[in-house]
Structure formats: C-alpha cells, structure tokens
Structure 1
Amino acid sequence: MDKDTTIFGIHSIIEAIKSDKTIDKVFIQKGLRGELFHELEKLLRAKGINSSYVPVEKLNRLSKGGNHQGAAAQISPIEFHNIDDLVMASLESDRMPLFLLLDQISDVRNFGAIVRTAECTGVSGIIIQKKGGAPINGDTIKTSAGAIFKIPICKVDHIKDAVFHMQSSGIKVIAATEKADDYLYDLSFKEPCAIIMGSEGKGINPSVLKVVDEKAKLPILGDIASLNVSVACGAFLYEVMRQRL
C-alpha cells in the first residue's frame, strides 16, 4: 500500500467514508470489537465498500510501523465516472464506442497493463465491479504508465449490470472466452461494442456468459491452454483497431 493512498485508524476511515472519499478496500483486524468498529461495519455495508478481516501482522506490515488501531483503508487515487453519463457521451461522440468490461481482474499489474493498452487503442471507458477486483494503487498507476488518469473508469455492483446497460444502449457485448466456438477474427467489431475479459483464475462468470451477445476466443497452438489476461486483452483490442482503421 502507498502512503499517499492509504489511511489508518477507524475514526479516520469513518470520516473519509462520510466525506464521500472513494475507498477501494478496508482491512480490519480479526477479532476487533467496540462501538466504533460496529459503526464502521455498518457504513461499509451501507456503501457497498470492499473489506476483509486480516491478522494484526498484516496491518502492521501495511502501516509500516504506523498506529493503525486495527484498521487501514486504501483510497482510490482517481475519481470514478457515472456509467450512464459515460455511455451517453460515447454514443454522441465522433468515435465509434468501444468499452472494456473487466470481470474481477485481481492482479494490479494485469489491471494496469490492460488500462495502458486500452488507452492506446482508444477505448471509450473501462467498467469494473465494486467488489472482487484489483485495487487502484501505486502499482496500478506505474504499470499503466499513467494511463489510469487518462481513461474513464466506472464501477458497478455486478458486471451483468454493465452488460444489460450496454445492450439497452445498442452496444454489442462480446465475451473473450475459450468456451467460444468462434475465433476473434471471425467477428465484426465495426459497430459499437463492449469486450468482457474474465479473471485470471476463473475467467468470466458463467452467469455473465449466458447474457452476452457473442463469444470469441484466440487460437492457441502451444501446449499452454491460455494467455495472460492482459496479453489476451491486447490481442482483442488491436483486432478491433485493425478492423476499424
């Protein structure tokens, strides 16, 4: 955790939440009790903020000797966009809409690399879930080469919410998955579209796969069955760019 994106102490975290700071995740010491702790728990549930209970040793490491008082929180260094406004602005712009939906990408370096490629390929915006994904921290910023500050990012309760939003706005939703029959190169990306990339371990949630418009896979000739998600994402985005140029 980075000092400029981290706060410690239950009081400080409660005040940050009440001040509408964008909190990525809260770490709470296992076994913590007390009135303030219960107030924090209530706020986290009400705001849908990602949290986890950890041993005190982890908080000691995260705080690097600071007085954490049993809790630490990671504040997002960026402001998140509203998905309604972003989709509307994209549809009204001169550029063909292209969105990226990330279904719980958990590694910050993968996330940062995807953001960097997305910015280079003209992606209109990136949609992530409020819970389960990689936090936006110093490693994300570094791996993205600063692209995290240049591309709009939205948070939704569930990726399916974003899928339905895209579809109702006339945007085709394509899942990048090895469970597809079609190769990436068989599809047309010359209309407004959104590409879903799944998590490193589980891929795209089966419930999400059921509601997409199309599925596509990359050809694999080697013995290893899949590519790193950021590499696969780059292949998809550059095929979109190739078709649209």
Structure 2
Amino acid sequence: MKNTDQIYGIRAVIEAINANEPIDKVFIQKGLKGDLSREMETLLRKNSINASYVPIEKLNRLTKNNHQGVVASISPISFLSMEELVEQVAEKETAPLFLLLDQLSDVRNFGAIIRTAECTGVDGIIIQKKGAAPVTADTIKTSAGAAFRVPIAKVDHIKDAVFFLQASGIQVVAATEKTNNTIYDVSFTAPTAIILGSEDQGITPSILKAADHLAKLPMLGSIGSLNVSVACGVFLYEAVRQRMDAIPK
C-alpha cells in the first residue's frame, strides 16, 4: 500500500491523513465518485492538503500499483507548526532569522534556498500548506541534505505567519523591487524574518502591505531581477555580514 514516497488507494490515503503523515499533495482521478472518495476529499479540505484532479493516465505514470484513482506524495521530512518553530527558536540566545516563502513553486529553487539557509544559520523556513513547492527527492538533492537540518513549518496562510512573527517581536522584511530602499538601508541585526515571493508573481500585495520593511537588490544590468534562490542568498549574506559586524571585536 505504501512505498518510500507514495501512498496509493483511497482508504490508505484516509488512514495516512488521520495518522498525520506529512502528505504534500494528493492526485485524484477526474470523475472519481463514491462515499469513500467524498470522505477523503472532506479530510483533504479540513487539513488544507493540496489536491489535484488529473486524468487516469497521470496516476498510471505515478505508480504501477492498483491506485484506485488516488496517489498521495509523502514528504521525506516532518514539518513543525508555526508555534512550535518560534518556541523552539526562542530558547536560543542569538537574534532569530527566519525565511517566509510566499507561493514558491519550483522544487529545485526550494532546495537551493534550504541549502543557503543552512549555510547562513537560518533558524527556520515557513511555507504555506497549499500552493508551496513540496519537499521531494529533487528538493533534498538540491539542498545537499540541508532539508534534514533546517526546521520547516507549514501554515494555512503566510499573512497569518507575518502577524504571528510580528507579535513575537520579529521584524518582517519583504524582498521586492517595489521600493526605493535597498537591502543596505535595512538593519538585519534585530530578530528578522525575510519574505521571498514566487518565481513569476513575487510577493502577494496584501503580504507586502503587512511587512515592516521593503527592500530590494540594486540591479545595475539590463535584466530586472535575479533567480529567487540567488536573491535569497544575497539577502541572507547581508544579514550575516551585519550580524558579524555587530559582534564586539
């Protein structure tokens, strides 16, 4: 019924949801009917689990087993809640540094960001339950195993995470070109969470409005933006530089 990264069959998926397995996404055959499938779909909505309705050919490519119209992908890591992550970090003596990823969808970009986050001492990464890039084998590989070292929390909405962090005394800095301020105008020595947007849409406007600071990278060439994982690295290493400079010599 289950291998290292998949669960297939309606009843098996229902049991996995009830057992709090780290399900990233569920693929459901279009037109699937029946009481059991309706029960599963209700559980998916209740637990904010990503679901896509696909042709049976897609499911047949995902597994050679008797999938009964449903295949779920399982994350190789466990996720924290927002409260668990902040509580865990609160015990440290250094100013916390978080990343918030707003609808980032590319698994390799996600992996590269996790790798950079581990190298720069990021305390945790926060993603949305729906619409975010899943943690797949490609994510793990691109992260060079850092996905097993950096805590990752899932939330229903990134905006809720922003408000929760702000209430916990953590400033929120949005990485966006929609500002005149550069990263060199922002202090990263305080407890900080940096928001990065999706590859094509950037940060959601309502989340931009909620941020404490907006900051951009100075772009001197003709191309208007960097790959999101590269931009993430620049932001994080500016935070590292400022924090190292702030340490008494």
**Is residue 2:38 matched to residue 1:38?**
yes
Bigger mean CA deviation after superposition, 151-160 or 86-95: 86-95
1:123 paired residue number: 122
Distance in 2, Cα, partners of 1:31 & 1:87: 42
1:101 is paired with a residue whose SS is strand
Q: CA deviation at 1:127?
A: 0.4
Moved more, 163-172 or 3-12: 3-12
Task: Give, in whole Å, the separation in 1 of the partners of 2:242 and 2:106.
Answer: 30
Whether the 8 Å CA contact 2:6–2:73 is kept in 1: the answer is yes
1:1-245 matches, cutoff 5 A? 3-63=3-63, 65-245=64-244
Where does structure 1 lack aligned partners over 5 or more consecutive residues? none
**Secondary structure class of the residue paired with 1:4:** coil
Cα distance, 1:83 vs structure 2: 1.8
**Counterpart of 1:229 in structure 2: which amino acid?**
V
Give the drift of 1:85. Answer: 2.8
CA distance in 1, matches of 2:67, 2:140: 25
Q: C-alpha offsets along residues 155-196 of structure 1, whole Å, 9 cap, x if unaligned? A: 111000110011001100000001021011111111101000
Distance 1:145 1:108 in 2: 13
Give the AA of the match of 1:62.
L
Task: Note the aligned Cα RMSD (angstroms).
Answer: 1.3
Question: Bigger shift: 74-83 or 208-217?
Answer: 74-83
1:126 & 1:14 partners in 2: Cα distance? 28
Measured against aligned partners, the alpha-carbon deviations of 1:35-73 in whole angstroms (never above 9, x if no partner) come to: 21111111111211110101111111111x222111100
Give the letter aligned to residue 95 of structure 1. Answer: T
Give the superposition deviation at 1:238: 0.5
Distance in 1 of aligned mates of 2:7 and 2:23: 10
Q: Quick one: which amino acid aligns to residue 226 of structure 1?
A: S
Residue ranges of structure 2 left out of the alignment (5+ in a row):
245-249
2:110 and 2:229 in contact (8 A); partners too? yes
What's the CA shift string for 1:66-94, capped at 9, x where partnerless?
22111100111111112223213323312
Identity of aligned residues (%): 65
Question: Counterpart amino acid of 1:92?
Answer: E
Instruction: Output the amino acid matched with 2:200.
Output: G
- Partner Cα separation in structure 2 for residue 38 and residue 91 of structure 1: 41
Which string of whole-angstrom CA distances, capped at 9 and with x for unpartnered residues, describes residues 100-153 of structure 1? 000011000000000000010000100000000111110111011110110111
Total equivalences in the alignment: 243
